[in-house]
Structure 1
Amino acid sequence: MNQITDPVGVSPLEAQVVAGLRTTVGERLAAWAGDEAYSAREREQRGRELINAALAERTAAAISSGGRVLNSAAEQRVAKAVFDALFGLGGFQELLEDPDVENIYANGCDIVFVDTVREKGKRVGPVASSDEELIEMIRMLAARAGTEERRFDRGSPHLNLALKDGSRLFAVMGISERPSVSIRRHRYTSVPLKELVRLGTLSAELSDQLGAAVRARLNIVIAGGTNSGKTTLMDALCGEIPAHERLVTVEDTFEIGLHKNPQAHPNVVPLQSREANLEGVGEISQAACVRMGLRMSPDRVIVGEVRGDEVLPMLNAMSQGNDGSMTTVHANSTAGVFQRFQAYAAQAPEKLGLEATNLLVAGAVNVIVHLAKDKDGARFITGVREVTGTDGAQVTSNEVYRPGPDGRAAYAYGWRAETVERLIDAGADPASFQRGWSA
């Protein structure tokens, strides 16, 4: 693993130079840009030019006044720190560039931990010189990230957004003793199912069957705990969706990213919920986004995560012609998804009862997949459940795969015969069902 160093990575003198250049270059960049709509690449290129020019000016001034001159290596560190502050994520940037880092937690500017592929809770260096600098860093990021500016101040003390690399950032200030930042990374983005097989997330047999389930337009719910790989698996399954289909994605922050891959999915409408402004107006909930998406004639609706009253429009979408839709949910097992949906439906404005919810689930969901993460950080599928209908007020289902002795998915009762036929018609290898069909 790459050694994790202090993300700031500069001496006190260099830090002083960084602070001065950050202000100088920032002002010059703003004056250069004016009201012109330059692209991100053009702004970054101009930023590098201004940083180099400012460093040259600083060196000339130090020589003429007898001050300390930075050597070449120090100048490179300073230039990178200034660039990261203006265009990246400042002291977090080095951690985000480390492929082994999975999650980053800052409890203030100097109490920083990371989870890596081999170690959890590793203490690393500060990400800013003060809490005020950390807040300003996040505030600048909020101003330039996403589809619209997001505030981060005492009036809006929390921030939730997706970074350019797909990582998900959540920050709070004011309501905690010190500003706190959590960054969840997706180390594997746009990963095909065969790569998840190589990583040990699922078997080749199960990969073949789940890929066929997507192509057969079965509605799929992916369940698991936090950071268990739900989004990664959803992205891999979306890779099985034919390119000609029209998709609507609904998220609170853009993580799925199907709209960023026009070669695979050229016809995607990404919708993102938003919170109310300081006057308490302008909120667009995920439930509202799902309803809007249904008016856009999608072939499938992909909801990043169901965590509230959006469960009802999502289930309605699955049962009213948008076959092949997908979502994720926090649940501790495949069977636990039913209880989770029941709770969300009861809390929705419609306050749907248990029997009505179960009927809706049974008519909407076809397949439930559950993932977990072991103590070493490996993600894997633990079970697959096929929803078969209702028995009175209860949802009936069939455990296709269940957790084996090591917790990983092991063959249980298999798919129903009619489902096997449907999967084979969608391209599944008949040999992957060699253990027999369930009646």
Structure 2
Amino acid sequence: MTAPRSDGESPLVVAPELVAQLRARVSDRLTAHGADLPDGQREAVIAGYIAQELMAYAQETISSGRAPLTPQVEGALARALRDGLTGLGGLQRLIDDPQIEDIFANGCDNVWVRGTDGRTRRVPPVAASDADLIDLVRIAAARSGLEERRFDRGSPSLSLRLPGGQRLFAVMAVSKRPSVSIRRNVLHRVTLDDLVHRAEITPGLRDLITAMVRARKNLVICGGTGAGKTTLLRAAAGAIGVHERIVTVEDAFELGLDEDATSHPNTAALQQREPNLEGVGGIDMAAMVRWGLRMRPDRVIVGESRGAEAVPMLLAMSQGNDGSMCTVHASSSKQALTRLAMYVMQAPERLAFDAANVLIGQAVHFVLHLDVATDGTRVLSSIREVLETDGEQIPSNEIYRPGPDRRAVPAAPMRAETLDELIAAVPNVVFLAQDRW
């Protein structure tokens, strides 16, 4: 009936088969009820049906000569039923756990989580079968709103933002079993001060990034998967003036700047759209960036650049939308520039190598690279200042390089002209004094 957790704790986890059996009964009663109900009233009706079905099950158990459920197990069963009907079933208890950062389901019963402490452990099944796990993903897609999000053999991948801000990606048909990955942003509302407190950046780097943003420098934030790119971008955006107009473009909503009415009240969030059942109506991120530029933004923020959207994004950065930002997957600050050049050359515009370099050199001012320190902390590891280019290459200076523990340490000096611009942007802060002078 229950399964212990591998970390020594023993939360009550009810057998998925029993959950599925009673959930089907409650679902049938909801169907018979017929009317669409407001969320609050619907939850009250569901709670009543769950209590009735639990009582009926207890009577069946006693009549058959078996021991009834203990109050603790019955409470866990009620929670599992509620999660299955108003949440995401067995996944919901993991999503709600503030100590869990990542969830990996390789099928319904091979489930792992990574905690905020960096440790990975296996947890009990989240569904009675792989088919039920697929149904949970489809429920998540249906509740995401805004647009049609398919998950079937014709559209075997799904990327979306859950109501709580978590990022879900799932695949089926192309894998032996359905696979679900959920990333939970521990710091959804985050500031640069928060990152200082978590020892991810120093006070001097906090002031430097603040100066970059206020001086309207174009930033590329790079790193590996889970390095904290979105978190740093969200924190850096906190230095943007409250009255500036921002347009964010993402493949699935994650940044959430538009949800912060205090810091970013004039923000429009755009999300690419998948094709419908007929394979038409899709709108990719490149089109979204172009549309965003027509919305007269002061800054454009691209959640993750990895394709043709690199060209309009870089054009935006070099044609008046200074202070824009994006994230890129790369293993170093230098490789991020190479990645951008590759995306530009592969875009429909088919720019030549030298033209791609010129575009990047004119658009990007700084590249910030994130890594994981030797103690397991996600840290800012490198900062590279991009210089103007003649097309042969993209010259740059690594003004902060990875130290012995992968944390950023001072390296090459910044150009005097750039330094003057940053100091002018934050005249009351000597932002490099603590790290360099």
Shared fold (TM-score greater than 0.5)? yes
The gaps in structure 1 that reach 5 residues or longer are none
Aligned to 1:320: 319
Deviation digits for residues 180-231 of structure 1 (CA, Å, limit 9, x no counterpart): 1112222221111011011111110010110121122111110111110000
Aligned to 1:384: 383
Aligned to 1:242: 241
Kept in 1, the 8 Å contact 2:400–2:412? The answer is yes
Cα distance in structure 1, aligned partners of 2:89 and 2:8:
16
Cα shift at 1:51: 2.6
Question: Which amino acid letter does the alignment assign opposite residue 21 of structure 2?
Answer: G
Cα distance in structure 1, aligned partners of 2:23 and 2:184:
27
Cα shift at 1:409: 0.6
The gaps in structure 2 that reach 5 residues or longer are none
Aligned to 2:23: 22
Kept in 2, the 8 Å contact 1:202–1:381? The answer is yes
Cα distance in structure 1, aligned partners of 2:133 and 2:429:
56
Kept in 2, the 8 Å contact 1:208–1:428? The answer is no
Cα distance in structure 1, aligned partners of 2:31 and 2:318:
51
Three-state SS of the structure 1 residue aligned to 2:301 is strand
User: Is residue 227 of structure 2 the alignment partner of residue 223 of structure 1?
Assistant: no
Cα distance in structure 2, aligned partners of 1:359 and 1:74:
65
Cα distance in structure 1, aligned partners of 2:133 and 2:434:
57
Kept in 1, the 8 Å contact 2:7–2:121? The answer is no
User: Is residue 13 of structure 2 the alignment partner of residue 9 of structure 1?
Assistant: yes
Cα distance in structure 1, aligned partners of 2:25 and 2:292:
45
Question: Which amino acid letter does the alignment assign opposite residue 355 of structure 1?
Answer: D
**Residues 111 and 2 of structure 1: is their aligned pair in 2 closer, same or farther, counting only changes over 3 Å?**
closer
Worse-matched range after superposition: 124-133 or 213-222: 124-133
Aligned to 1:95: 94
Cα distance in structure 2, aligned partners of 1:434 and 1:187:
31
Cα distance in structure 2, aligned partners of 1:426 and 1:304:
25
**Residues 64 and 115 of structure 1: is their aligned pair in 2 closer, same or farther, counting only changes over 3 Å?**
closer
Question: Which amino acid letter does the alignment assign opposite residue 262 of structure 1?
Answer: A
Cα distance in structure 2, aligned partners of 1:311 and 1:28:
51
**Residues 200 and 2 of structure 1: is their aligned pair in 2 closer, same or farther, counting only changes over 3 Å?**
farther
Cα distance in structure 1, aligned partners of 2:103 and 2:160:
15
**Residues 315 and 392 of structure 1: is their aligned pair in 2 closer, same or farther, counting only changes over 3 Å?**
closer
Cα distance in structure 1, aligned partners of 2:427 and 2:331:
28
Deviation digits for residues 236-273 of structure 1 (CA, Å, limit 9, x no counterpart): 01111122111111111111011222222112111111
**Residues 231 and 33 of structure 1: is their aligned pair in 2 closer, same or farther, counting only changes over 3 Å?**
farther
Cα distance in structure 2, aligned partners of 1:56 and 1:392:
75
Aligned to 1:34: 35
Three-state SS of the structure 2 residue aligned to 1:394 is coil
Aligned to 1:160: 159
TM alignment of 1:73-222, pairs within 5 A: 73-222=72-221
Question: Which amino acid letter does the alignment assign opposite residue 239 of structure 1?
Answer: G
Worse-matched range after superposition: 122-131 or 327-336: 122-131
**Residues 320 and 63 of structure 1: is their aligned pair in 2 closer, same or farther, counting only changes over 3 Å?**
same
**Residues 353 and 16 of structure 1: is their aligned pair in 2 closer, same or farther, counting only changes over 3 Å?**
closer
Question: Which amino acid letter does the alignment assign opposite residue 19 of structure 2?
Answer: V
Cα distance in structure 2, aligned partners of 1:323 and 1:281:
34
User: Is residue 308 of structure 2 the alignment partner of residue 309 of structure 1?
Assistant: yes
Cα shift at 1:55: 3.1
Cα shift at 1:418: 2.4
Three-state SS of the structure 1 residue aligned to 2:395 is strand
**Residues 400 and 375 of structure 1: is their aligned pair in 2 closer, same or farther, counting only changes over 3 Å?**
closer
Kept in 2, the 8 Å contact 1:251–1:272? The answer is yes
Aligned to 2:282: 283
Cα distance in structure 1, aligned partners of 2:262 and 2:219:
24
Three-state SS of the structure 2 residue aligned to 1:206 is helix
**Residues 349 and 120 of structure 1: is their aligned pair in 2 closer, same or farther, counting only changes over 3 Å?**
same
TM-score, length basis structure 1: 0.90
Question: Which amino acid letter does the alignment assign opposite residue 265 of structure 1?
Answer: H
Question: Which amino acid letter does the alignment assign opposite residue 321 of structure 2?
Answer: N
Deviation digits for residues 304-358 of structure 1 (CA, Å, limit 9, x no counterpart): 0000010000001111111111100011111112110111111111111111111
Worse-matched range after superposition: 238-247 or 374-383: 374-383
Kept in 2, the 8 Å contact 1:117–1:377? The answer is no
Cα distance in structure 1, aligned partners of 2:19 and 2:211:
54
Worse-matched range after superposition: 417-426 or 48-57: 48-57
Cα shift at 1:235: 0.6
Three-state SS of the structure 1 residue aligned to 2:333 is coil
Deviation digits for residues 145-172 of structure 1 (CA, Å, limit 9, x no counterpart): 2422322222222211111222211111
Kept in 2, the 8 Å contact 1:100–1:117? The answer is yes
Deviation digits for residues 94-118 of structure 1 (CA, Å, limit 9, x no counterpart): 2222223222211111111222244
Question: Which amino acid letter does the alignment assign opposite residue 24 of structure 1?
Answer: R
Question: Which amino acid letter does the alignment assign opposite residue 178 of structure 2?
Answer: P
Cα distance in structure 2, aligned partners of 1:335 and 1:164:
36
Output the aligned Cα RMSD. 2.6
Kept in 1, the 8 Å contact 2:196–2:203? The answer is yes
TM-score, length basis structure 2: 0.91
Cα distance in structure 1, aligned partners of 2:413 and 2:427:
14
Aligned to 1:414: 413
Kept in 2, the 8 Å contact 1:274–1:284? The answer is yes
Aligned to 1:268: 267
Deviation digits for residues 26-77 of structure 1 (CA, Å, limit 9, x no counterpart): 34445657356x3x45544443344334434545666788775433222211
Name the count of aligned residue pairs: 433
Kept in 1, the 8 Å contact 2:373–2:405? The answer is no
Kept in 1, the 8 Å contact 2:113–2:123? The answer is yes
Kept in 2, the 8 Å contact 1:414–1:436? The answer is no
Aligned to 1:343: 342
Worse-matched range after superposition: 55-64 or 305-314: 55-64
Kept in 2, the 8 Å contact 1:362–1:389? The answer is yes
Kept in 1, the 8 Å contact 2:207–2:429? The answer is no
Deviation digits for residues 267-303 of structure 1 (CA, Å, limit 9, x no counterpart): 2111111222232211110001000111111111110
Question: Which amino acid letter does the alignment assign opposite residue 26 of structure 1?
Answer: S
**Residues 346 and 136 of structure 1: is their aligned pair in 2 closer, same or farther, counting only changes over 3 Å?**
same
Aligned to 2:366: 367
